[in-house]
Amino acid sequence: MTLQYSLMDYEHWLDEVKAALDSVNMPMIDWQGVWPFDFQAEYDSGTKPHDAAMRANRYWWREQNKSLKQDCRESKDCWLPRGHRGVCQPVAENIARR
Ligand SMILES: [Zn+2]
């Protein structure tokens, strides 16, 4: 992929995000209406489509856990369910920004 993401228009960028979310069975159309994720902000800050998709995925998991009162209480921004094994994983962890 030689395309510069900074030159990619938002519609094209969002299509790639949608494809990445479909590939992990988290269709944007299903989740965005329930817990809106700020994709525009990710685009504006130069996040790659795949990274934005993974962050949205984690965000939706965290919101779902919260709604079920199954959110992790060990740290504030952890997307894993309460009582998970291993270390906490913040929603925004390990996503490189340019
Ligand atoms: Zn945790």
Domain count, the chain: 1
Distance, in Å, from the CA atom of 95 to the CA atom of 64, rounded to the nearest integer, reads 21
CA end-to-end span of the chain: 16
Helices (H), 1-98: 10-23, 28-31, 39-44, 49-67
* 33-50 pLDDT tens trace: 999 999 999 999 999 999
Rounded to an integer, the average pLDDT of 79-90 is 95
Given a cut of 50, whether residue 96 has pLDDT beyond it is no
28 CA from centroid of ligand 1 (Å): 24
Distance, in Å, from the CA atom of 45 to the CA atom of 57, rounded to the nearest integer, reads 18
pLDDT band (50, 70, 90) for residue 76: confident
35 CA from centroid of ligand 1 (Å): 20
26 CA from centroid of ligand 1 (Å): 21
What is the domain range of residue 89? Answer: 1-98
71 CA from centroid of ligand 1 (Å): 8
Specify the 3-state DSSP secondary structure of 71. strand
